[in-house]
Amino acid sequence: MGTRTCVVTGSSKGIGRAIAERFGEDGYQVVINYRSSEAEAQDAVSAVEDAGGTAIAVQADVTDVDAVEAMRDRAHDAFGQIDVLVNNAGINQDVRFTEMTHEEWDTVLDVHLDGAFHCTQAFFDDLADSKEGRFINISSIIGKGGNFGQANYATAKAGIFGFTRTIALELAPEGSTSNCVAPGFILTSMVEDLPEHVKDEIRDDTPLGRFGTVEEIAEVVVFLASDRSSFITGEIIDANGGKDL
């Protein structure tokens, strides 16, 4: 394959940034999407370029359809057709269900589900027209097993599974694929801020006995974006250290 272009939403930090950097190592043209952290996004651009790729940073709140369409136009102006879309943007507002407000419910579902809808709709034609279009969603182990205090997050992440499989069916006639990665507990700022006793419990409950790294998730995503995964579509790829065994 020649030079390929990808959009990674929510990629100024964490898993998204690791994905963007890994694409850079393979020489991709990368659109770094961010909502508010411009300095971190520009730092991610530099990291992608240092890794061997080309990158631009584009601000867009994925819940805003006009902003997403403007991001698509910026991506096209800079790089042309998009070959890979990674829906990674996410948010959590954790609270016990009996105390959860409608706003807390809506905010989380808006980012994960409406955001995925807006971005996928904006780039669907690109993925369908690409010689090997790749659509990849980032979900979570929480979408499979639920989690106390995360009814909104678990519901949103579970919804991504059905969305992934439906888009797989609709992209298949064009030869493009749609898959999902469901990480377990990964060493990001959200996990690192947990109390030590909670982190110990998670490690004890994970067969591999440790947290995952953002780099490990990025490797799975880049594989799914490559021609090596050309006969895989509609799949939910667990990357959780065996936690749901």
**Residue-wise pLDDT tens digits, 156-214:** 999 999 999 999 999 999 999 999 999 999 998 878 888 899 899 999 999 999 999 99
3-state SS assignment for residue 73: helix
Cα distances from 215 to residues 18, 20, 28, 122, 225, in angstroms, run 6, 10, 17, 28, 15
Superfamily of domain 5-186+213-236: NAD(P)-binding Rossmann-like Domain (3.40.50.720)
> For residue range 65-118, what is the model confidence (pLDDT) as tens digits?
999 999 999 999 999 999 999 999 998 888 999 999 999 999 999 999 999 999
Sign of CA dihedral 40, 218, 213, 235: positive
**Under a CB-based contact definition with an 8 Å cutoff, are residues 234 and 165 in contact?**
yes
Q: Say if residue 1's pLDDT is above 70.
A: no
| Ramachandran angles phi, psi of 206, nearest 5° | -105, 120
Question: If pLDDT is split at 50, 70 and 90, which confidence band does 244 have?
Answer: confident
The whole-number average pLDDT for the span 52-57 is 98
Domain spans in the chain, listed from the N-terminal domain onward: 5-186+213-236
Report how far residue 215's alpha carbon sits from residue 221's, in angstroms, rounded to the nearest whole number. Answer: 10
Q: Could you list the active site residues?
A: 153
* Entry pTM: 0.95
Q: In Å, how far from its chain's centre is CA 202?
A: 23
